Structures are given as C-alpha cells and as structure tokens.
Amino acid sequence: MISAEQNELMTRIGPGTPAGKLLRRYWQPVALVDEMQGERPVKAVTVLGENWVLFKSIERYGLVERHCAHRGADLAYGRLEDGGLRCSFHGWLYDASGKCIDTPAEPEGSRLCEHIRLRACPVVEKNGVLFAYLGAGEPPAFPHFDCFVAPDAYTFAFKGYWDCNWLQALEVGIDPSHASWLHKFFEDEDPAASYGKQFRGLPSDSAMPISKVLRESDRPEIRVERTAYGMRLHTLRRISEAQTHIRVTNVLFPQAFVIPMNAEMTISQWHVPVDDGGCYWYAIFTSFTAPVDKETMRNQRLKTYPAPDYKPIFGRHNSWGFSADEQKHRTFTGMGFDINIHDQWACESQGRIQDRTRENLGSTDKGIVLYRRLLVDAIRKNEAGQLVIDTEASGPPAIDGIGPTASIDEYWKESDATRRKRSAWAA
C-alpha cells in the first residue's frame, strides 16, 4: 500500500523536490531535432517545472533560462544574431553557455556584461532527440544503449504530450498484462500493412499475428529481475505445450523503457515531466534490419500527435475519441487503432496525479512494485549523496517471439544474439 506521503515523494518533480533532484542527475530529452529546423531555431521549453529557451547557435545548441538577466523579458522572442540569442528589449546578447557577451545600450567601453550569466545546461543530440543535463556538477556519460549506438538511418524519433504525471505515464510501460485488454483488436490485420504499428505484425519465428497472441492468451506469467540499468521483465504466454510467446521488456532507470515494436524494431521511450501534471513521451525507434522509413513513421504519428506542439487530437476534451459502436464491434476500448491513445486514456483517466493510496495491486503488478522500490531507494541515496549512476550498460535485449516452451530462456537470448549478428550495425 502506497501512503499519501510516498505518492508525493515519487511524483513531485519541481526544483528542490527529492524526485526532482534525482531526475536532474540524468540526461533529459527536451526537444526533437525536427523542432529546431527552419530559419529560426528557437523554442520555449518547460522541463521539470522550469522554464527555458532552447536555441541553435552557429556551433551548438544552447539551453538557457528563459528570462533576460536585465529586466526579465522573455528570450523565447529574442533574435538569433552573432552566434547567440539577443533579447528584443534592450539587445543584450547571450551565447550558448548563458554568458552575456554584449550590452549594446550601455555606454561605450562598459564591462557590465562580464559579470552577467544566465543559468545554462549542456545539450547533446542523440539520433533525433536533444538531451539536456539540468543538474549540478558534471553530467554522466551516455550508456551504450542501442538507440544511441545505431546509425541515424536506422532510427526515428518522435514525441507526444500526455496530460498527466510522468510516473503514471511511465508505469503503463511496466505493466505487460494490460496489452491483452487495452490493446485488444477483434480482427487481425494483414502483417504486410503493419509497418510502423505496434501489436499489428508478427512475432519472431511465427506466422501467428501478435494481436491474436494477445487476444487468446490473456493470463500471462510475468517475471521481473533487477539489472545494472534498472530492471527486466519477461512476459510469457503459453501457446501450446510445445510453444510459448515471450516478450522481453526493460526499464532504463529512472524514466525510460525499451520494448519490442516488432521482430525488427525496438522502442526506447522516456517520460519527461513538463510539470507535476503533464509530461512528454520521447521515443527513439531503432531498427536492426533495414533503415527506417522515417517519412512513413512520421506521417503515421502526426495524424494523432500533430506538430508543432505534438499534443494529441484526442483527450479529456473529447472523451479520447470513444465510440460505443467501435467498442462493441472492433476494439476492446472503442478508442481507435492507435495504441498511444489507448495508453494515454489509461493514464490520463486516473487524474493528473494518480491517488495510489486507493490502489489494489495484483500479481501482474510485480514490475510496478519493484520499480517503485527502486525509485524510492534512489531518491534516498541521492539525498544522502550516495547515488551511483551506471553508464556502462549496453543493449538491452527487447524481444517479441515464439519459441520452445522447454527452453524459452535460452530462446530469447539466442534470438537477441542472432538479430545482432545479422544486423549491419549491431554486430
């Protein structure tokens, strides 16, 4: 049972909060590279309850506090000039490190700017996503995860906004049993038309559509284990005495997961707080076989999460697109065929911050139970100055396949090894 105090501890992420201080020790996605194209790559960004402005200078990206150090004008409306961002109020100019390098309204020879500096955070581009380090001290190195190691042609990045707390958004990815219900389709799709869609293609080593597997095997066995990078989940669905479907998913602590989208592609997804009541998910899709068809992937997703703000066309304001007729005849939820909307409803309908004191968890929630223990333990270690961040992890394996029941643990390891050996980049 989660107490109200524990729920507050885990969900509140503003400056100075224990969970907020923990998340600031890790690199956080703050924008897509796609958002910084065009003639004026300047964007207002709110992350972890703080307001920043992101801009692309001649040599690099800058992320600085949003208001000018002079009289507080909004730098999101500033001018990109002379390798920096110039305030439109009095012309003060800042470089990507936050240093003021020009105060043109001051008298000739003034040295005022030498003493002016805005808070700034380092920014790194990783396969279509811009990550920033918002904490104090030196940032940790990036682990050798597949989504960071793969060449750009084999990855695709996207994002979407959910109107709820980051933790409940993350926890839907640590709950493997829900897929048999929330994402239940009454009819199977032609696998040839399933590119870019989750739960609509074929698992590895099988001609049985994954939608059929989920629909007919709705009482999975779930195993969880701690790892150096966070935790791994095995979800087992017995097809027959001889064959079992296994889905291996992972939590990259503190707020990402890696799951299989299909036999060829994985999804690495972060849930990044805007504030206590809203978050963006950032996903990097990684292909082990052919280069990604980015245009198709992007156009599929823009239909429900349109640019420029990537906020969904369905939500509380229109009942998440719910159709009673569809629920009766086509899908279990009655909310269309985009599983992101299904997950969004499941998380948003709990309220902007879920009241976990009212939960009644079952055996299928063991992944969520373990993650919350890891989170509270890490918060306490960080408060005590004892947190150690692992940066050596690689992979991790994310497998969706049907193999021999008697040797299913060997099967998923061999499946991962074979896929990497055949890959143009992962070998």
Domains of the chain: residue spans and CATH:
42-121 (2.102.10.10), 144-422 (3.90.380.10)
370 phi, psi to nearest 5 deg: -65, -40
- How would you classify residue 38: left for phi > 0, otherwise alpha for psi between -120 and 50, otherwise beta? left
Round to whole Å and give the CA distance between 366 and 175: 8
Asked if 301 contacts 149 with a C-beta cutoff of 8 angstroms, the reply is no
Q: Measured between alpha carbons, how far is 268 from 166 in angstroms, rounded to an integer? A: 16
User: 62 near 98, Cβ under 8 Å?
Assistant: yes
> How far is residue 43 from each of residues 10, 31, 62, 79, measured CA to CA in Å?
29, 9, 11, 12
Written as tens digits, the pLDDT of the chain (427 aa) is 799 999 999 999 999 999 999 999 999 999 999 999 999 999 999 999 999 999 998 879 999 999 999 999 999 999 999 889 999 999 999 999 999 999 998 998 898 988 999 999 999 999 999 999 999 999 999 999 999 999 999 999 999 999 999 999 999 999 999 999 999 999 888 887 888 888 888 888 888 888 998 999 899 999 999 999 999 999 999 999 999 999 999 999 999 999 999 889 999 999 999 999 999 999 999 999 999 999 999 999 999 999 999 999 999 999 999 999 999 999 999 999 999 999 999 999 999 999 999 999 999 999 999 999 999 999 999 999 999 999 999 999 999 999 999 999 999 999 999 999 999 999 8
